């Protein structure tokens, strides 16, 4: 659902993608938007147009379109349909850079890197924060070895199988350089937690080959973990994509052809606070033009593009 702020549309990433498709169809001569019929039939014509030319109008999409119409209703009442269409076609808001956000807990207190209560070593609990937008979840992990000792995660070169591109993963942060963060949206088809989640070392074993969803490992994932000599993995139950959290969430098994994007963390050793400052690697799944921050809202931001994002433990799928 959209909201209005300062005369601009505020939307989720999925809404922005949908709006791009809608505007493209509206401009296409073969599916040209009929302004006369829109002026006459209003919402009904818009719903039918979207259903026929863009996508099924489900409940969420209906709310989004209704929000658009509410946003332009003052103009529509004046009978200026061209201005309505112009409003729908206005440029999308783009921030000039990634914001730097402080990680906080549910009480609004800064997360301290040395405090293992919120982010334990090899935790089976899915711990998330949103960045760069409020519907973009990211895993935050404190990596460990097979004995649950904190383990330094060094910088690494990460290859994108789809293109052969190589980029540098900066490594872990914190007192033991063991804390990392990655997008929690699978790069194959966009599955989210709990379908994609972290498998601690004790669960990377043959017993998980017969586990129920969302804890089912594939034989390929298990073999790839062993071949890469990694004790833990990130695995997606939807189609079996597997990522290496010790090496920048590099691809261990397909069908994904792209690593998980890294949410770059910064540790302030003087305060022990953690910050997230940008996304590295391939674009977040669903972002049409890379990690360009198109659309709003962003997590707890002020006009200086600084603020906070909350770290939230969600579920332990292995219970």
d(CA 48, CA 22): 12
pLDDT tens per residue across span 88-135 = 444 444 444 678 889 999 998 999 999 999 999 999 999 999 998 878
d(CA 249, CA 310): 22
The predicted structure's pLDDT at residue 39: 65
Q: What is the DSSP letter of 94?
A: B
The predicted structure's pLDDT at residue 80: 39
The predicted structure's pLDDT at residue 69: 61
The predicted structure's pLDDT at residue 289: 54
Beta strands at 306-310 and 100-104: parallel, antiparallel or unpaired: parallel
Domains and CATH numbers, the chain: 3-88 (no CATH), 100-316 (2.102.10.10)
The predicted structure's pLDDT at residue 38: 72
Least confident of 5-9, 23-27, 277-281: 5-9
The predicted structure's pLDDT at residue 204: 95
> pTM surpassing 0.75?
no
Q: What is the mean pLDDT of residues 133-155?
A: 94
pLDDT tens per residue across span 148-180 = 999 999 999 999 999 999 999 999 999 999 999
Q: What is the DSSP letter of 72?
A: H
The predicted structure's pLDDT at residue 299: 55
The predicted structure's pLDDT at residue 295: 45
300: left (phi over 0), alpha (psi -120 to 50) or beta: left
Q: What is the mean pLDDT of residues 278-291?
A: 77
Asked whether the beta carbons of 155 and 117 are under 8 A apart, the reply is no
- The pLDDT-based confidence of 3 (bands split at 50, 70, 90) is very low
The predicted structure's pLDDT at residue 22: 77
The predicted structure's pLDDT at residue 161: 94
Beta strands at 125-130 and 312-316: parallel, antiparallel or unpaired: antiparallel
The predicted structure's pLDDT at residue 34: 78
Angle 60-61-66 from CA coordinates, rounded to 5°: 100
User: Has residue 290 got a pLDDT over 80?
Assistant: no
pLDDT tens per residue across span 231-282 = 999 999 999 999 999 999 999 999 999 999 999 999 999 999 999 998 999 8
User: Has residue 138 got a pLDDT over 90?
Assistant: yes
* Half-sphere exposure (Cβ direction) of 149: Cα atoms closer than 13 Å: 2
Angle 210-214-216 from CA coordinates, rounded to 5°: 25
pLDDT tens per residue across span 42-66 = 677 777 888 888 877 777 777 777 6
Q: Which residue has the higher pLDDT, 176 or 69?
A: 176
- The pLDDT-based confidence of 291 (bands split at 50, 70, 90) is low
The predicted structure's pLDDT at residue 153: 97
């Amino acid at each position: 659902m959209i909201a209005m702020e300062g005369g601009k549309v505020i939307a989720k990433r999925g809404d922005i993608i949908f709006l791009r498709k809608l505007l493209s169809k509206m401009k296409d001569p073969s599916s040209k938007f009929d302004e006369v019929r829109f002026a006459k039939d209003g919402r009904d014509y818009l719903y039918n147009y979207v259903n026929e030319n863009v996508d099924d109008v489900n409940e969420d999409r209906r709310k989004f379109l209704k929000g658009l119409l509410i946003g332009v209703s003052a103009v529509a009442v004046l009978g200026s349909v061209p201005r309505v269409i112009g409003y729908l076609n206005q440029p999308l808001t783009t921030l000039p850079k990634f914001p730097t956000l402080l990680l906080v807990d549910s009480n609004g207190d800064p997360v301290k890197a040395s405090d293992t209560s919120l982010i334990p070593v090899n935790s089976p609990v899915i711990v998330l924060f949103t960045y760069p937008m409020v519907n973009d979840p990211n895993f935050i992990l404190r990596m460990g070895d097979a004995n649950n000792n904190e383990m330094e995660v060094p910088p690494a070169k990460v290859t994108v199988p789809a293109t052969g591109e190589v980029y540098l993963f900066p490594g872990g942060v914190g007192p033991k350089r063991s804390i990392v963060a990655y997008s929690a949206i699978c790069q194959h088809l966009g599955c989210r937690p709990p379908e994609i989640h972290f498998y601690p070392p004790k669960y990377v074993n043959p017993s998980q080959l017969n586990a129920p969803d969302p804890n089912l490992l594939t034989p390929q994932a298990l073999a790839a973990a062993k071949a890469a000599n990694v004790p833990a993995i990130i695995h997606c139950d939807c189609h079996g994509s597997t990522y290496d959290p010790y090496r920048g969430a590099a691809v261990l098994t397909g069908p994904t052809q792209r690593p998980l994007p890294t949410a770059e963390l910064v540790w302030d050793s003087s305060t022990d606070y953690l910050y997230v400052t940008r996304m590295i690697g391939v674009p977040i799944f669903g972002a049409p033009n890379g990690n360009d921050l198109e659309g709003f809202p962003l997590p707890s931001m002020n006009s200086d593009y600084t603020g906070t994002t909350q770290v939230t433990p969600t579920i332990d799928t292995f219970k």
